[in-house]
A and B are shown apart, each in its own frame.
Chain A
Amino acid sequence: DTEVTQTPKHLVMGMTNKKSLKCEQHMGHRAMYWYKQKAKKPPELMFVYSYEKLSINESVPSRFSPECPNSSLLNLHLHALQPEDSALYLCASSQVMDRVTPEAFFGQGTRLTVV
């Protein structure tokens, strides 16, 4: 199984809503990532979890709240978003290795629209 599964594929939410994005992998990877991708732009790193602990937060606004409940799951909780937060949200995972960089495996993404 080399898949990273993200749900839902599409999400429309109002600015006062609370929603969550989910990501799951069963490859035994201990690093998991959230990226945000705007149209015609490369992915931008938001958060990195390593061994279920938050290791990188790229100064993301607090209306985005990540959670890693176990080594296979990664959530992104959304609250009071703005229309400019509309984007494709990508989850990725990779091994954690010394000295060698393993590749990251990406999910299909959640297309988020904030209205």
Chain B
Amino acid sequence: GNSVTQMEGPVTLSEEAFLTINCTYTATGYPSLFWYVQYPGEGLQLLLKATKADDKGSNKGFEATYRKETTSFHLEKGSVQVSDSAVYFCALSYYGQNFVFGPGTRLSVLP
């Protein structure tokens, strides 16, 4: 079946550090890939997405590239802020009918 694997953390970084959160997936065909972020006490917000191989999604300084050859969609940000502290979920979906989420990675950014 389809699945998503990501580092669970917690990941603790100092402000302005470089962030990488790894995400790999198992799926047949060509799913769309997403990163969602969940701030404490809130629902999920879409951070970025990519719908085909070699697409790069970007938003708010975050980037991720759809790599079919390595079945990966790693999230990166060049300089994190305290306000980026949250849980980050990698997800895949076919035709929007069934999102499969990874376990989530908790990020803490210290001032």
Contacts and interface: CB of A to CB of B under 8 A. Distances in A.
Interface stretch (B12-20, B44-52, B64-72, B73-81): B44-52
Given A31-B97, A55-B97, A98-B95, A106 B45 contact: yes
A34 B101 CA distance: 14
B44 A43 contact: yes
Nearest to A98: B95
A71 to B, nearest CB: 16
A36 to B, nearest CB: 12
B97 A41 contact: no
Residue of B45, B89, B96, B98 with highest tally of chain A CB at under 10 A: B96
Contact of B104 (A31, A42, A50, A97): A42
B102 A42 contact: yes
A100 interface: yes
Contact of A104 (B96, B103, B104, B106): B96
B60 to A, nearest CB: 15
Contacts, number: 63
Main secondary structure of the interface of A (DSSP, over half): loop
Interface residues of B, number: 24
A43 B51 CA distance: 21
Contacts of B44: 43, 90, 92, 106
Interface string A85-96: 000001010111
Given A99-B95, A101-B31, A101-B94, A108 B103 contact: no
Interface in B16-47: 31-32, 34, 36, 42-46
B19 to A, nearest CB: 20
9 contacts: A31-B97, A43-B89, A45-B98, A45-B99, A55-B97, A97-B96, A100-B51, A103-B49, A104-B96
Given A98-B95, A108-B42, 18 more contacts: A6-B43, A42-B101, A42-B102, A42-B104, A43-B99, A43-B101, A45-B98, A90-B43, A92-B44, A99-B95, A100-B32, A100-B51, A100-B95, A101-B51, A102-B96, A104-B99, A106-B43, A107-B43
